[in-house]
Structure formats: C-alpha cells, structure tokens
Structure 1
Amino acid sequence: MAHSSNSSFFSLEEISKPKSSFGMGGLVRATPQIHNELDNTELNIAVTGKAGSGKSTFINAMRGLQSGDEGAAQTGTTETTMEPTRYKHPNLPNVCFWDLPGIGTTRFPAKNYLKKMQFNKYDFFLIISDCRFTENDVKLAKECKRLEKNFYFIRSKVDNDLYPKRKEGRKLNEEKELKKIRNYCERNLQEAGIQSPRVFLISNFDLNLYDFNLLNKALEVDLPNIKRSIYILALPNINLEIIERKREELRNEIWIMAALSGAMGAVPVAGLSLACDIGIVSGGIIYFRKCLGLDDASLQRLADTVEIPLEDLKAMVKTPLVGEITPDIIMRLRWGLASATISAVELVFNNIPIIGSIFGAGSSYLMTYKLLSCALDDLTENAKRVMNVAFGTDLNDQSRVVYELM
C-alpha cells in the first residue's frame, strides 16, 4: 500500500488510541462485552399488509433471492402465509424478516390479528399495499403507534402502474405520475387519521429505482446504533451508496477486533499475539466478504438474479482475499513488513513483564487495525467492480489497488 512520504505506517491518531485505552485497561475489559452484544443482537423486521400485496416478493428481494431459490418466501396472488414465518438473512442470520399473514382475510380477521401476530417482538413494521391502503392497513398502523413501534407504508408494484401508461405511446412524465401515486396514498392515510404518513414507492423487481434509498435513510435515522448497523450490512448490493455505507459500518467494527487482538497481546508470551492477530484478521476478512457479497454463495445468488454467468462476476474480483485465508497469505502482504518489525521488537520486550504487556497490547492493536483496514478497502473496491458488471453502473474509474502480494 502506498503512503505519503511524510507519514509513518501508523498515524499519530492510531498510535494514541491504544496508548490511552490499554493504559487504563478499560477497552480491554469492555471489548468482550461489546463483541458479545454485536453477535447476539437480533433485528426482527415485520412485513405485513393484505394478501397478494407483494410481501413475500419484497422479503426475497431484500435477501437477494428469487422465488424458486432454497429458503425463499413462497409467493402467489392468493394468501400463501398461514402463520408468521421467519426468514433469516443468508449471510447475517441475526437479521430476520417475518412474513406475516395478510390482515383482513377469513383466516385472520382484523379484530384478532394484532394479538395473534405478537407485535411486541418486532423492531419495526413495513406495511405493504399494491393499491390504495385499506381500513385494515390503517388499523395496523394505529396499533403500531399505540405500541410505540415504528412503521412505514410501502406502495409496491409501482412499475406495474407505470407500464400501461408507457404502452399508450405518449411521452411519460414519470416524476409527475409517481407524485400522483404518493399523494393519493398520503391523502387516504391522512383521511383515516394517520398524521404525516411516510409513504415509499417501491418496485420489488428493481429495488434500485424509486424510493428504496429513501426508505433506508429513514430506517437509519430511526433505528438504534447497533441495529442500524446490522440493517445496513444486510442490505442487498444494488448501488455504490450501499456498498460505501457498508464500508463505513464495517470500519466501525475494526477497532473491536483490534482491541481483542490487543487484549491477547497484553499476555507476555512470545509469539502469542502474532498468532492471535492472524486468527482475528482471518475471521475479520471472511466476515467482510460475506457482508460485501463476495463469498461464493452471494456471488451465485447475484449471478442468478441478474442472469449473468458466475464466471463473469468472479472475473471482476482481483484480490487473493476471496480464497482461503492462510497465515502465509497474510504474512506475504507487502504491509506485512511493517508488522514484522513490530513483532521483532515485541519479542525483545516479552521478557519484561510490565513493558512487555503494554507494548504487546499496543502493537497487536495497531497491526490488526491496519491489516483489517487495508483488507476492507480492497474488498470494497472489488465489490464495486462486481456490481458494475451486474448492474452496469459506471464507477468512473473509482477502483484502486489497495495492496499487492510481494
């Protein structure tokens, strides 16, 4: 990786962070608890609405699946969901989409619906409609409000509304037509007593169009920190903005992994911290790959969705970090030279208990933090190249080589 001539391998900010934290011991003690909270926090998203509104199709699209894929939600024009059904995210199993039965059917009349669906266990509700919102949708929203649950109205199948107008042969003012649909939905909801309703126009078959990004921004504002991060990482890679948001969220997690490495490095046993660094870095890289959609399963799902040969997507991946992550791969990286220097000094100080512990914690933190940061940047740029081929996005030559093997 290239660095400016007036900077060292580690910046002053990176050096001062572990110096203050590990000196007091606070970060070392707090890190396992924070890491455990991240691993065990669930995000439960309820998707509801009347039968046939596109709930199941939306859930599949959010997970990068098609209706015929293994684990996909069953779709159809009639009521196919007989009870609340949980669908886990393929890469992040702590993210669960719940396909709720359509409200107002003979099996689930509105007066019994709220109790049977156990509303309290969901973090927020997406109320989906493919036409005007019904009285049952409004009842659902009012109950969400009573329980202080966030809810968002999604007007699905917008592409179906615009298709006949395009076929008429006249020039279509799409922005004007979309505004009509949104105003109609908002007016109906306001007349039913929902003040300031938030309506998002969505196409389940092309989430990159219409209001999908606006919906994500609304959720980012409303969700608490950890759950907001989990939601962002679970989003399908459909545009550059989402990939960049994932990079930001994953970068926020790097310090936790580095702190774990630092806690290991505080134990003055020769060679122990280096071994822990490699294990933590390897695990971090594998986690990054899944979140960025660069693992084999994610690439296959994307290839099936966009109907492009898998080989064409894999050809865009120009990094050794998508294969097996071995100690040799990590140690052969060019920036491994700097970490090797730290490890050599670390061995000298290991026999001095107090100094060895302080230096071991700091050097392990710095080495792991830098390795994971560079790996994240490299994987992010590769994810952008894959998306460029899949969706034809112009990356404006944003790709850059983050590091090379020696």
Structure 2
Amino acid sequence: MAQTSSSSFFSQEEVTKLKSDFERSGMENIKPLIQKKLIELDNTELNIAVSGESGAGKSTFINALRGLQNADEGAAETGTTETTMEPIGYKHPNLPNVCLWDLPGIGTTKFPAEKYLSKMKFEKYDFFIIISACRFRENDVKLAKKIKKLGKKFYFIRSKIDMDFDSVRRGRRKFNEVEELEKIRKDCISKLDKAGIPSPCVFLISSFDLDLYDFNLLNKTLEDDLPRMKKMVYILSLPNVSVEIVQQKKKELMKRIWMLATLSGAVGAVPIPGVSLACDIGIVIKEIIHFRKCLGLDDVSLQRLANMTGKPVEELKAVVKTPLFGKITPDIIARMYWGYIAVASSSLELALDFIPVVGSIFGAGSSFLMTYKLLRNALDDLTENAQ
C-alpha cells in the first residue's frame, strides 16, 4: 500500500506493520504504536540558531518568528550594540518545544572564530540562520563553513529590506521592486560564492512585514529540508501572517486526527457503558485547546494581536464566530456529538482521507467515527475563524 500524506509521520515499514497487526489481532494491537507516535510528536523539539553581527536584526527576527513585537513580554532584547554574550534561548509562547537561540556574533574579542564552535554547542541546533543587514562579511562566511563541516543546514537572511526600499524612495528614484529584490539577491549570492560558499541559500526579509518578500520561500525551503516530525513543529510555530500559513497548519493538524480517533476506537471497544463517550470527550477537549493555540485563537494570542493592531481584544473576539472559542466543556462536546451523529454513521468519506490502514479500522464502531468527525469539524471551524 502506498504511504499517504496523512501517514507521513510513519515510515512505510510502520504503515505495513500497522495494517498487519490490525489484521492479525484487531484494534488493541495497533494502539501502542499510535500512542508512541503521538508521544513522539508532542515531545519533538526544534532548536533554531540565529547568528549575525550586532545591528543585523537578530532579535527582531526572533521576535517576529514567535509572533511577538519587540516591546512584548518575553521578547528578545533589541538594540544597535551587541547585547548577546552567550547563547540565549527564547521559547515559543504557545509551543514550548520550539526555541530560537540568539547567538553572539562570531569573531568578536570574546568569541574568536577558533573557539566559537565549542562554546556555542553547535550540535544542539537543528539549523542555523545567519543574518546581515547589509552585506555578508568574512565572519559570516567562517561561521557557514564551520556549520557545513558539522553537516548542519544553514540559511542566509538579508534583513531590513523594507528600510532599503524606503531609502531608495526618499531619493525619489523610481524603481521596480521585483527587479530590485533580484539585484540584491544576486549580489549577495555572488559575493558569498566568491568567498567560498557555493550555491548559498539567501532570503530577503523584513521582520516587520513577514508576509512580504522571501518569507514564504524561506518557509518552503525549511519545510523541504526538515525531517517530517520537525517540519510539523516548525509550521505550527509560525505566526499567522497569511492565509496560506493557516491552511498549512490545518493540513498538519489533520494528520493527528485519525490517530486520535483510532485510540478512541480502541477504548470504544470496551463493553462498559459510558467509557467510550467519556474518553472521546477527553480526547476532543484536549485537542481543540491544542488547535486553538496553534491557530492563534487562544486568549493570550488574541491579546498579542490586539496589542499589535491597536484594537481592543473584545473587538477581535467579537469577530470569532464559534462555540469553541471560550471554555470547552463536556456539555459543548455533547451538543456537537448529537449534532453530527446523523451524518457520522457513514464511513464512506473517511475511506478517502487520512487513514493509512485503508478500510480496516472502520469496523471499530461509532467511537472512532464520532471522534474523527468531531475533531475534523472543530478544526474546520477554527481554521475558518483564524483566517
């Protein structure tokens, strides 16, 4: 059986084993592997190192990638002088397993190039961002070469592109923005190539307007380069600066739903009145809260958005039209349950999506079907509101 996108957390060997175990011993036998995979998902860490000279915009980029403004609580300290004397980790406000690390610039008196590698503990980082506000310098090249020797990925970011364009506009010179971007990119690539970095990945970014320039291209490159578990973590950590990112988050979250429904189906086979529904409610409530955090619909995220836009948080909350916004109670889930029960009895649509063991687990009964239906509809509803 071909591996589907929905089962991308599983290797082909694991998918084959799931199917074989189910056919041999039923739902209970595949439960441990799915539980193990969910635990692995929830505990996958992502550590991103950000380096560059003072004034390059490291801290502002770190804040922007976490959906924070420079003045927000927990934001990385910004300034025109080098404020970083050792690696400082900044956890994501909603996903604590994601951490961005502000590294001191290489080649300073305190951190000479020859000692930088050991002092910064390079092995802990999944990939490196090297930022420059103008042109990449000798120390940036030294750092890239050291990272390459370790077999790690690195990406060059040319920051403050918005300021470059503002400067051109103040000079009253007409210019084509696309052509200007390409000119800057080619110049960066050419200089890095001559310095000994062949085919460098260079992205042009404004940390104050992440939806502009190369931010989407950067995300696509990182997604292609990251292992499948870390790819999901990275996508879910992104700020909602575009509808495209919200849709990417939905796609990743959908991959969890069939696994949770399968666990529900395994419990649903227990012949004790009330056990199935109680377990379903617990799974659904926990996951809806997770969905809201990832999609920026929790109270803390909305308050940050209110601060950013200058609007009262009550005004933003008024736009959210879903019963899943406030406190999630068993009563709300029960009302959803009875609202969906008429259509959930059909498993035909489920055979088309998100089930790696195609057709096999549909016999698990209403617990699987209902948990799947509840979570899928909740995600649809929350995604629409996030957009």
Aligned residue for 2:147? 144
Aligned residue for 1:301? 304
Q: 2:250 aligns with which of 247, 255, 261?
A: 247
Aligned residue for 1:391? none
- SS of 2:324's partner is helix
Alpha carbons of 1:21 and 1:272: their partners in 2 closer, same or farther (altered >3 Å)? Answer: farther
Q: 2:216 aligns with which of 213, 216, 222?
A: 213
Distance of 1:335 and 1:250 partners within structure 2: 24
2:230 matched to 1:227? yes
Aligned residue for 2:42? 39
Distance of 2:344 and 2:180 partners within structure 1: 63
Shift, 1:109, TM fit: 1.8
Distance of 2:217 and 2:126 partners within structure 1: 19
Kept after mapping to 2: 8 A contact 1:22/1:28: no
Distance of 1:207 and 1:332 partners within structure 2: 40
Distance of 1:186 and 1:337 partners within structure 2: 55
The residue type paired with residue 125 of structure 1 is F
Q: 2:75 aligns with which of 56, 72, 86?
A: 72
Aligned residue for 1:8? none
Shift, 1:211, TM fit: 0.1
Aligned residue for 1:260? 263
2:175 matched to 1:168? no
User: For structure 1, which segment, 164-173 or 38-47, has the greater mean C-alpha deviation from structure 2 after superposition?
Assistant: 164-173
- SS of 1:252's partner is helix
Shift, 1:30, TM fit: 1.0
Residue-by-residue CA offset, 1:41-92 (whole Å, 9 max, x unaligned): 1011111111221111100001111122111111100011111111110100
Residue-by-residue CA offset, 1:111-131 (whole Å, 9 max, x unaligned): 211110000110000111111
Distance of 1:203 and 1:335 partners within structure 2: 48
Aligned residue for 1:14? none
Q: CA RMSD in A?
A: 2.1
The residue type paired with residue 52 of structure 1 is G
Gaps of 5+ in 2: 1-18, 346-360
Give the TM-score normalised by structure 2.
0.87
Aligned residue for 1:287? 290
Distance of 2:24 and 2:59 partners within structure 1: 47
Alpha carbons of 1:335 and 1:19: their partners in 2 closer, same or farther (altered >3 Å)? Answer: farther
Shift, 1:269, TM fit: 1.4
Identity among equivalent positions (%) equals: 66
Residue-by-residue CA offset, 1:245-288 (whole Å, 9 max, x unaligned): 00000001111211221222232211101100011101111000
The residue type paired with residue 66 of structure 1 is Q
Aligned residue for 1:93? 96
Shift, 1:165, TM fit: 0.9
Kept after mapping to 1: 8 A contact 2:264/2:368: yes
Kept after mapping to 2: 8 A contact 1:63/1:236: yes
Aligned residue for 2:120? 117
User: For structure 1, which segment, 264-273 or 243-252, has the greater mean C-alpha deviation from structure 2 after superposition?
Assistant: 264-273
Aligned residue for 2:354? none
Distance of 2:177 and 2:75 partners within structure 1: 32
Q: 1:331 aligns with which of 331, 334, 338?
A: 334
Distance of 1:78 and 1:60 partners within structure 2: 17
- SS of 2:130's partner is strand
Kept after mapping to 2: 8 A contact 1:103/1:136: yes
Distance of 2:280 and 2:24 partners within structure 1: 18
Kept after mapping to 1: 8 A contact 2:340/2:374: no
Kept after mapping to 2: 8 A contact 1:51/1:79: yes
Aligned residue for 1:275? 278
Distance of 2:369 and 2:24 partners within structure 1: 12
Give the TM-score normalised by structure 1.
0.83
- SS of 1:321's partner is coil
Aligned residue for 2:30? 27
The residue type paired with residue 116 of structure 1 is K
Kept after mapping to 2: 8 A contact 1:229/1:249: yes
The size of the alignment, in residue pairs, is 353
Distance of 2:32 and 2:226 partners within structure 1: 27
Alpha carbons of 1:199 and 1:337: their partners in 2 closer, same or farther (altered >3 Å)? Answer: closer
Kept after mapping to 2: 8 A contact 1:22/1:362: no
2:328 matched to 1:317? no
Residue-by-residue CA offset, 1:285-328 (whole Å, 9 max, x unaligned): 10000000000100111121232332232121000101111111
Kept after mapping to 1: 8 A contact 2:267/2:279: yes
Aligned residue for 1:388? none
